[in-house]
């Protein structure tokens, strides 16, 4: 069966500056990943690591510099506008900021109905019935339809965004930090909603997050990005319990440990900001912040290698959990 999403060797460069100051940012530098049907792949990494750019390219909202994207077995990058419209039925984007992403001049009904109007699904009465059904699905009362998005809280607005994204029954949702703008108390509700919807509708999620507690809860697999590249990938349990890349170890140690686990974890503090992708470090891009860096790391870029079945790491000196860090 085709994957819900497959990305092969994606590169995305942006020109920046002008004249003699002109240069290039390589926001995504050779990313490959796959999301199976009904599966959640979490994409994690610090701000600026290329997560959003990867996601935008995945849904053809940005044009890759090179590489291929496949959704449901169809190659996306060469699609005509007509094919792209039909792609929107398959795959939808949920944005981080539910305040900026909903048009304040439209009613909730118009917002949720718009994809049905654009794709001419059924007749007008059928579309209104579908809007009511979708609002119910995301836990909003029927009278929400007549109101304007600014009358709702952040969590409710994100529910409106999710209802709209589900209107055409897609198989893939790309969720770009969908709860990071929400109050912590509301985050869990929206996460639970997304997990319920996944079970009921066999949805695949590419789920971008920097909150590892959220990742532990929702993801089946995790891919860790650093400066445009995937540095570690594997089953979520495995990545959370036994990270092998020093960068992942540092990310995990910065995250609050789950209560009641009773495991003492040494805290590794990542110092400094990530380097700029305009002038990335030689060799392994993480060497400038890595406590294990040796000469090789400064000169040779480590390939992403499968160390254990389904668990790949791009590091010359992967952390050994049995002897290091307890
Ligand atoms: P993330 O989502 O992980 O925070 P992004 O994909 O937004 O990362 O950005 C990755 C890098 O690409 C950053 O250095 C960012 O400044 C740069 N970038 C992203 N979009 C653009 C753009 N449109 N023009 C120039 N640089 C960009
Ligand atoms: Mg982002």
| Ligand showing the shortest atom-to-Cα distance for residue 176 | 2
pLDDT of residue 196: 94
Ligand 1 atom 18: residue of nearest CA: 27
| Ligand showing the shortest atom-to-Cα distance for residue 57 | 1
Residue 149 belongs to what domain range? 102-168
Whether the pLDDT of residue 309 is over 90: the answer is: yes
Judge whether 162 and 193 are in contact, CB under 8 Å: yes
Q: Quick one: pLDDT band at residue 213, thresholds 50, 70, 90?
A: confident
Q: Which residue blocks in the chain are alpha helix, DSSP H? A: 51-58, 81-90, 108-118, 124-137, 154-166, 184-201, 212-218, 236-241, 246-254, 295-299
Q: Of the candidates 168, 196, 214, which is a domain's last residue?
A: 168
In a domain, 138, yes or no: yes
Instruction: Name the domain count of the chain.
Output: 2
Tens digits of residue pLDDT in 279-300: 999 999 999 999 999 999 999 9
In a domain, 97, yes or no: no
Cβ(14) to ligand 1 under 6 A? yes
Q: Of the candidates 143, 168, 193, which is a domain's last residue?
A: 168
Count of CB atoms situated within 10 Å of the CB of 302: 21
Regarding whether 208 and 163 lie in a shared domain, the answer is: no
pLDDT of residue 262: 43
Regarding whether 146 and 241 lie in a shared domain, the answer is: no
CA 163 to chain centre: 19
Tens digits of residue pLDDT in 80-123: 999 998 899 999 999 888 778 889 899 999 999 999 999 999 99
Provide the percentage of residues in the chain whose pLDDT is more than 70. Answer: 94
Cβ(52) to ligand 1 under 6 A? yes
To the nearest 10 degrees (0 to 180), the angle between helices 108-118 and 154-166 is 20
Regarding whether 108 and 246 lie in a shared domain, the answer is: no
Q: Of the candidates 130, 152, 168, which is a domain's last residue?
A: 168
* Alpha carbons 115 and 50: distance in angstroms, whole number: 28
Regarding whether 143 and 190 lie in a shared domain, the answer is: no
Whether the pLDDT of residue 324 is over 80: the answer is: no
Regarding whether 189 and 250 lie in a shared domain, the answer is: yes
Q: Which residues fall within 8 angstroms of residue 141, CB to CB, at 6 or more apart?
A: 135
Regarding whether 290 and 178 lie in a shared domain, the answer is: yes
Judge whether 49 and 274 are in contact, CB under 8 Å: yes
Mean pLDDT (the chain, rounded): 91
Regarding whether 83 and 64 lie in a shared domain, the answer is: yes
Judge whether 39 and 86 are in contact, CB under 8 Å: no
Cβ(209) to ligand 1 under 6 A? no
In a domain, 95, yes or no: no
């Amino acid at each position: 069966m085709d994957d819900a999403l497959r990305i092969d060797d994606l590169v995305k460069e942006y020109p920046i500056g002008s004249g003699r100051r002109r240069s290039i940012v390589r926001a995504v530098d050779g990313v490959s990943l796959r999301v199976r049907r009904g599966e959640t792949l979490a994409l994690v990494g610090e701000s600026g690591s290329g997560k959003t750019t990867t996601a935008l390219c995945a849904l053809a909202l940005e044009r890759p510099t090179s590489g291929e994207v496949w959704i449901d077995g169809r190659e996306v990058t060469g699609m005509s506008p007509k094919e792209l419209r039909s792609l929107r039925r398959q795959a939808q984007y949920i944005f981080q900021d539910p305040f900026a992403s909903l048009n304040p001049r439209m009613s909730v009904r118009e917002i949720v109905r718009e994809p049905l109007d654009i794709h001419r699904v059924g007749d007008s009465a059928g579309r209104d019935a579908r809007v009511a059904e979708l609002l119910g699905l995301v836990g909003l009362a029927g009278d929400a339809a007549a109101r304007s998005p600014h009358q709702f809280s952040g969590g409710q607005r994100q529910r409106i965004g999710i209802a709209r994204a589900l209107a055409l029954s897609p198989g893939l949702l790309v969720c770009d930090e969908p709860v990071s703008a929400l109050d912590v108390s509301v985050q869990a509700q929206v996460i639970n909603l997304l997990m319920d919807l996944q079970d009921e509708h066999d949805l695949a999620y590419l789920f971008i997050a920097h909150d590892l507690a959220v990742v532990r809860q929702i993801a089946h697999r995790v891919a860790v990005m650093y400066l445009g590249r995937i540095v570690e990938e594997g089953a979520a349990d495995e990545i959370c319990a036994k990270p092998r890349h020093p960068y992942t170890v540092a990310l995990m140690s910065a995250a609050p440990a789950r209560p009641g686990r009773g495991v003492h974890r040494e805290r590794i503090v990542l110092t400094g900001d990530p380097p700029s992708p305009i002038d990335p470090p030689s060799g392994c891009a993480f060497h400038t912040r890595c406590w294990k860096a040796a000469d090789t790391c400064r000169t040779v870029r480590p390939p992403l290698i499968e160390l254990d079945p389904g668990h790949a790491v791009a590091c010359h000196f992967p952390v050994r959990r049995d002897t290091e860090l307890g």
